[in-house]
C-alpha cells in the first residue's frame, strides 16, 4: 500500500520522529516544511492553543496543498490566572533558558498554596475539506523548587509533579511520560479520527 503524506507544521526533528512513529502504522508518512524547502515560522498571535495550532496547520496547507497538521502546547497555572499558557515558550521575556523560565514561574507563584497546573496540547488538522482539532491535558502540581537531578523531559518538567507517578516529569523516562502526556492524549484522539477518515 502506498503511504499517504501528511505535512507537520513544525521545525522540530525530535517531534517529527515522535509523529512519524505514531502515524506510520496508520499508513502515513510525515514530512516537515523544510523537506519541501519552505522556511516556516508564522507568528503565533492568537490567545488560545487552538487558535495558534490552526494558524500553523492552515498556513502550511495554504503553502503546500498537502493535508497538514500542527500542535501547540504549554503549561497553565490557575493561581497565576492561567499563565504562562500560550506564552510558555516565551515566559519571562526573550532569551531565557528553559531553566530560567521555570524558575521565573516558581518565583511568580511564591508560597501560594494553590499549586495546581496542567499541560495542554491542541493538535489541529486541515485538508481543504476538514478542519478539526483535538485537545489533550495532563494535570499536576508545581513543586516548591527546581529539580537539577532528573535526566528527562524539557521545559517545565523539572518543576511539574505528576501525582499518579509521585514524581516530576524530569524523573520519568520519555517512554513513561509519553503514555500519559498531553501531546499523547491529543494525538490519540487525532489518530482515532484519522483512522475513520474516508
Ligand atoms: P511548543 O508547542 O512545542 O511550542 O511548546 C510550547 C512550550 O510549552 C515549550 O517551549 C515548553 O516551554 C512548554 N511545554 C510544552 N509541552 C511541554 C512538556 O511536555 N514538558 C515541558 N514543557 C512543555
Q: Which residues line ligand 1 (CB under 6 A)?
A: 71-75, 88-89, 119, 153-157, 181
CA angle 157, 16, 48 (to 5 degrees): 60
According to the model, what pLDDT value does residue 130 have? 97
72 is in an annotated binding site: yes
pLDDT tens-place string over residues 31-75: 999 999 999 999 999 999 999 999 999 999 999 999 999 999 999
Regarding the domain delimited by 4-195, which CATH topology (the fold level of the hierarchy) does it fall under? Maf protein (3.90.950)
* Percent of the chain whose pLDDT exceeds 70: 99
pLDDT tens-place string over residues 110-137: 999 999 999 999 999 999 999 999 999 9
CA 132 to chain centre: 16
Domain residue ranges of the chain, discontinuous segments joined by +? 4-195
Query: Over 80: is that where the pLDDT of 3 sits?
Result: yes
* pTM tops 0.85, yes or no: yes
Å from CA of 1 to ligand 1 middle? 35
Query: Over 80: is that where the pLDDT of 1 sits?
Result: no
Residue 124 and residue 108: Cα distance in Å, rounded?
Answer: 31
| Closest ligand 1 atom to Cα of 181 | 19
Amino acid at each position: 500500500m502506498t503511504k499517504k503524506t501528511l505535512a507537520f507544521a513544525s521545525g522540530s526533528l525530535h517531534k517529527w520522529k515522535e509523529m512519524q512513529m505514531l502515524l506510520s502504522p496508520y499508513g502515513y508518512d510525515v514530512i516537515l516544511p523544510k523537506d519541501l524547502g519552505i522556511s516556516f515560522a508564522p507568528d503565533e498571535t492568537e490567545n488560545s492553543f487552538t487558535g495558534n495550532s490552526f494558524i500553523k496547520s492552515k498556513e502550511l496547507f495554504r503553502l503546500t496543498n498537502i493535508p497538514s497538521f500542527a500542535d501547540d502546547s504549554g503549561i497553565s497555572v490557575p493561581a497565576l490566572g492561567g499563565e504562562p499558557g500560550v506564552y510558555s515558550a516565551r515566559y519571562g521575556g526573550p532569551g531565557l533558558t528553559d531553566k530560567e523560565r521555570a524558575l521565573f514561574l516558581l518565583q511568580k507563584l511564591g508560597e501560594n498554596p494553590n499549586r495546581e497546573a496542567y499541560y495542554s496540547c491542541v493538535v489541529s488538522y486541515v485538508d481543504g475539506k476538514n478542519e478539526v482539532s483535538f485537545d489533550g491535558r495532563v494535570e499536576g502540581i508545581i513543586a516548591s523548587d527546581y529539580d537539577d537531578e532528573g535526566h528527562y523531559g524539557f521545559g517545565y518538567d523539572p518543576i511539574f509533579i505528576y501525582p499518579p507517578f509521585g514524581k516530576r516529569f524530569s524523573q520519568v523516562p520519555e517512554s513513561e511520560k509519553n503514555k500519559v502526556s498531553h501531546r499523547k492524549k491529543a494525538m490519540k484522539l487525532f489518530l482515532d479520527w484519522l483512522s475513520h477518515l474516508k
